[in-house]
Chains A and B, each alone.
Chain A
């Protein structure tokens, strides 16, 4: 027998009220997937009238929006041509975004944007302003990759690379493979806000072939105080990566002096450590590079089964790495005077007091910082075959 007691009455009342608050909430702020304009890549350029132009690559989800009216099958094969590029101009990035919304029937959705490209011209004028929006607004991903493109960023977005689904996918995968730099919004913000106020961003160029054109990473752009001040080529960028402890994936080919041919080594692991010293007025830094490598190709007449030859290769490898590092230092430290290796933070951590006094003069100190290299490469294995199977006269 169910009796309505006062206690039950209150419980029922609460349930009643609770259920109705759900429906009364008014603005049901749900946004379905198919109400979203899913941005997969964004490009930022500056126009001639000094406005910011935001271009976004949007994934077209509507199966009939593409070329063919697909049948019932839900997971219909994608292929190229499924992204479109839309642009809008504005005074700031937020302004450009709201203008972009005006030309899109669906809600701009930053949540899946994993690639941000700054055009070269914008980069030279300054990326601090758009970065402000990208770090302050909750929607854009901090883990999205950043690039600087030669020419307009919009041109990169408009490419139709055949292998991946979109240009965003291409750039992201290239950055991820760690053959070039891999810089995210978060890391860029950290670098720009760090003690050195310097940053490196991978540099994207478009390569034309008779059949198609595709973007690829070729070196890096150097940013100081929010503005691009120069760029490094691929070789120097590798040196920067060694110094920044970002080398994960490398095949180094060396040519030993007294042996004809080349030895290629595949990097297994590597670790770089910056050890700063201050002795009086002399600031110096010791770069300790530990690396292990496997030999994957040997066209020389060196017999890899002999330990002395392996040891010899160690020194050859050391020279090669040192050369790259020195080249990077020569560019960035001596020529451009930009602390992209973040020596500043290393000094700050170890000598906070000295740093405090010297921080205003850092741009004077930095070029004079003496860099000592302690590279210690180790060739661990000669590969699957020992003595070459095809060269008889190995020594």
Chain B
């Protein structure tokens, strides 16, 4: 715990070393902070600010035929029907004489109303889609919560499908996403802090955590790191991820992204913090460990035997995807005595017509495979399948026939390819896939010696890596015996009594102990 705090301090120190002198657009509205009592003055200011913005509508009208008023809103971001019916119509007809803004506020049949006092707030509200009502003789404006825009309906996330489990996924709208979370965790201790990031985009970012479970220092640290960001726009959570992660030079992701509300909720209940970014369905989860990146929600929705077995299969194939081709290259180039004789003879035969060293062959095939994968991923689905057929069947066969690659090599590349897709998080899979190439070089130049060197380097890197102060390889290094129940195997639900210990203060128990189902005790039943 002390260690962790020290870390935090270190991070805070580096925080002070801010890169200054970044030219950002002048925040001119802030030079005229308050709304004045003169409507014309306010209007002139706003029109100046929104000059050349044809989608900003200034609707001037008279309240009760007397008081001058303006509704400012952005076309397409506002629910026009409701605005007409519940705001404009009553204002034009029902209010006979001039009324004060606070009186009007009480009589308008819209649930979300907010008084705004500064120009900056007015701009913020208008940009967010809320129409703002400005009146003559009032130094306040009324923001009417009638924003509405086109949004995607809630669908199953394509990238994280499960056989059993909820099919809903986050969408691009922040409010919807937080509501999905709130529907799963109906407790006031679910806190959602929000802020805007991006000088131009003013993207809403929300930090969700459960008070009493998440370490307060962690929440503060994440908030601070987010507040430190000065950027013109945030279009995806990746922008934020790259600006707040611990080690920017690591191929491994230090934040987890998910599109699933159930995954986000599960992490919240384990004391993690979830960061929502408006405009993307991918939410960020911090801190993460290496092993949480290798877990899938399906592990918890299947029986625990299955979950454990699949988890180990994943660990195994992660190793295969990192080392597959390099082990092959090392064995074929240096350690032929390790292959069973019969296999060696067959391999020797198939390598006979290949003109390249095994290393070149491996690099060639792996590069082609990566290219095929990338081509297939970027193309429309219909063409993508054609690419994969051409890639897998035609090129694989043709490469052997043309004598460019040997059959065992094609097999190794295919198995490695499949292995890299076993990682439930794409980011981990691609990190390992990239590391495969230096590994192949090491194996090709130094054999198993190089391979071991490479493994040591990768392991060392993983061991020094931290995600928001939490060692990446927790709970194996540092060893936390109790937490291995959800890493080395997937313990049954009734044995997952304690939360994983991430940092600092710790709300230890998440369920009552001794809930293992068992047949009723006959004796007790009889006596009662």
Contact = CB atoms under 8 A, between A and B. Distances in A.
Interface of A: 1, 22, 25, 28-34, 36, 38, 40, 59, 61-63, 72, 74-76, 78, 109, 111-112, 114, 139, 141, 165
Contact of A34 (B337, B341, B351): B351
Contacts of B407: 74-75
A5 B455 CA distance: 28
Interface stretch (B6-14, B287-295, B342-350): B342-350
B444 interface: yes
Q: What 8 pairs between A and B have smallest CB-CB spacing?
A: A111-B337, A61-B348, A30-B333, A74-B350, A74-B407, A72-B401, A33-B348, A34-B351
Given A25-B445, A30-B333, A34-B351, A75 B401 contact: no
Contacts of B72: none
B190 interface: no
Interface stretch (B352-360, B379-387, B506-514): B352-360
B349 A76 contact: yes
B516 interface: no
Contact of A32 (B333, B400, B446): B333
Nearest to A168: B341
Contacts, number: 78
B353 A32 contact: no
A112 B347 contact: no
B334 interface: yes
Interface of A is mostly: loop
Given A30-B357, A30-B445, 9 more contacts: A22-B445, A31-B334, A32-B357, A33-B336, A63-B352, A63-B353, A74-B406, A74-B407, A111-B336
A61 B341 contact: no
B445 A28 contact: yes
Contacts of A25: 445
Given A1-B19, A74-B407, A112-B341, A30 B334 contact: yes
A186 to B, nearest CB: 15
A63 B348 CA distance: 10
Interface of B: 19, 332-334, 336-337, 341-342, 344-354, 357-359, 400-401, 406-407, 441-442, 444-447
7 contacts: A28-B445, A32-B357, A33-B344, A63-B349, A72-B401, A74-B350, A74-B407
Given A62-B352, A112-B337, A32 B19 contact: no
Contacts of A22: 441-442, 445-446
Contacts of A29: 334
Contacts of A111: 336-337
A28 B352 CA distance: 20
B240 to A, nearest CB: 18
B349 A74 contact: yes
Contact of B400 (A1, A30, A63, A72): A72
B348 A34 contact: yes
A40 to B, nearest CB: 7
Contact of B348 (A1, A36, A139, A165): A36
B350 A75 contact: yes
Of B345, B357, B400, the most chain A CB neighbours within 10 A belong to B345
Nearest to A83: B345
A59 to B, nearest CB: 5
Contacts of B442: 22
Nearest to A110: B337
B345 A59 contact: yes
B341 A114 contact: yes
A141 B337 contact: yes
Nearest to A172: B341
Contacts of B406: 74
Contacts of B348: 33-34, 36, 38, 59, 61
A62 to B, nearest CB: 5
B191 to A, nearest CB: 34
Contacts of B400: 72, 74
Contacts of B359: 30
Contacts of A63: 349, 352-353
A38 B337 CA distance: 10
A165 B444 contact: no
Contacts of A165: 342, 345
A40 B447 CA distance: 24
A93 to B, nearest CB: 19
A172 to B, nearest CB: 9
B351 A32 contact: yes
Nearest to B353: A63
Contacts of B347: 33
A131 to B, nearest CB: 20
A63 B349 CA distance: 7
A63 B332 CA distance: 19
Of B337, B400, B444, B447, the most chain A CB neighbours within 10 A belong to B337
Of A30, A33, A75, A114, the most chain B CB neighbours within 10 A belong to A33
A40 B334 CA distance: 18
Contacts of A32: 332-333, 351, 357-358
A30 B347 CA distance: 17
A78 B401 CA distance: 19
A68 to B, nearest CB: 13
Nearest to A29: B334
Contacts of B445: 22, 25, 28, 30
